[in-house]
Structure 1
Amino acid sequence: MALNRRDFTLASLAAIAASSGLTLAVKAQGTKTIAVLFDGLYSEFWVAGIQIIRDELKKRGYEIMEAISDQDDNKQFEQVRAAIARKVDGIIIVQTDSNAVIPAIKAANAANIPMVHFNRPPAQSDAFSVAIQADNQKIAREAVDYACTVAQKSGKKHQAAILIGDLGDPNAIQRRDGFQEAVDKYPDAIEVVAKIPTEWNADTAFAGLTNALQANPDISFLFTSSDFLLPQIQQALKTADKWHKVGEDGHVILTGFDGFPDAYALMKDGYMDACGVQNLFFETQLAIQAILDLGEGKKVEKLLLDPGFAITQANMNEKASEMWGYVLWKEKNPG
């Protein structure tokens, strides 16, 4: 199934980001309805993802029941129940907590309505659903491994910090583990001195990083488990006089994850060394095809993986066009 990367624009994404969390329906031609239930639109990844899913389903003639739960598990369960009451033909969902979503899956199973988890899998249970997920551990490991080789070539030992996501999210756990696997290979070049919890909250991340930099002023290696925290990282590093380009004195070796437009811009400008990239276009294709296949009674594996990739200062010219953040950045910066 081909998907045109130019089908959505920054203007349309901004419009979605500004929408309320109230349940709404987008009418299209056809008799079938897919519920698209996200826990929030708090990052460009989710905004872009919901826009692509919406556009593709509308092209295929589906009605869309859409709701945002604002990271409230109880609210999302009520939204699932509302979708079941409406007798939708499928549910594409992004939950906040991998365990809290299990009752929603069981309710969908009881109603014989297929459910697909976009980008964030549920905890293991006897309930059936399909999850689309990036190979977070591998992607993080590859991106951080590149950064570690940069640290090793510098000839000195670097103090490292990691910004850890919400540990109720399997993605955060896998990214943390991928980071650890990479740095463990370079004991002579990397010493981890700070593991900073963020709970996927920008203010929490900023405060935690600021405190870590004060407690460990020699930190010179940093991994963030999501690029949406890059503005806070930039602010904290600037305040600590550590915001310098690759090759400049005082540069903090910086690795991100997700592939945001901000990440591409910072790599292009020389402030970031590497980024683990989720292939958003591929993941949305997987989610849409999975929900349609399930609706037709076809067998679908419970976990469908996006292998992703690492974009680095060494391969950026070659790989940029595959980065969803580059596509959005390019739309905003033509020419």
Structure 2
Amino acid sequence: MSNGNDWNGGNNDWGQSSNQPAGGPEQNQQMVHQGGGTDGGSYGAGGSGFEPPGGGPPLDAVTEGWGGGHEVTLDEVVDRLKLVANRAMGPVLKAWLAVGAVILVFNMLDAFLGIINYFVDSVAVSGAIGIVSMILGIVALVVSIAAGALQFAMFKPLHRVVFEGEHVYSGPMDVINEAKGPFVAIVILTVAITFLFGLGAACCLVPGLFIAFVFSQAPYIAATQDVDPMEAAKRSFVLNKTYWMPVLIAIGALVIIGAFASCFVGAGTFVVGLASSFLYPFSLVIIAGVYWLFTQLAMFGIFLVHMALFSTLETKETGKEPA
């Protein structure tokens, strides 16, 4: 049985497509121009000529190697999504909500401060509450980033559940302990990609979107392959070039789903707030709880879609099928 982390479990390395076999110097040279690696460091289907940003990637690393991967159909991704969702509805979902509960704590604290402020007449006390609320918001932001990174580090345990079987973990703490391994790498990637996206978007929106696109698979690779952030970014760069069409379609679908989810979360929170308005200011606690739950479930759905797509690409590259 595969250990769930060996991406070379199929007939091909995760980094060399089956339609580009190893060969002599001339053949290898052709592979490089097609995106194929010849130095043992090929990072995706068809490999790459990609180099770390230190000296800047060669021109052909950006312009060559788009497309050419194995065919990926919508039915395959949908079937994998059904499998992923089914196996995630256990310890993985419980672990996701348990980690997200840290964010809920800060939401509730902010709601309680709002309740206290409602009954306080003193300007000085209200000012002090405002300062505490501001500090709490800054701390909550840092905690939210860390919690989100740990949640997406759950790519690793969910990967094992998908490729080894649904009985790998007995409870949510097992999932969380497994996710701690790639946690630091996910934090680094999250911060780096967010910074680069912001920098690119500030100059021109297109570079920011391009950065977010080509590196979108890096957290999944870092978590499931136990590689460092730079290596994960390289592999994501090439894999997303090779399978640019299904990845782009999936991202577009996620944007649309995210927009609807945001509307749903906003509308649901508004309705709950309106229904409980007669309890104001105590309704602030109810609103905070409902908003947190809707948001966590929406993010978990996005997480599952990522897992379905990227694990399907992994199967295409390695031939490894779910257990």
TM over 0.5: no
**Higher-strand-fraction structure:** 1
Specify which structure has the bigger relative contact order, considering alpha-carbon pairs within 8 angstroms and separated by 6 or more residues: 2
Q: Which structure has the larger Rg?
A: 2
TM-score, normalised by the number of residues in structure 1: 0.29
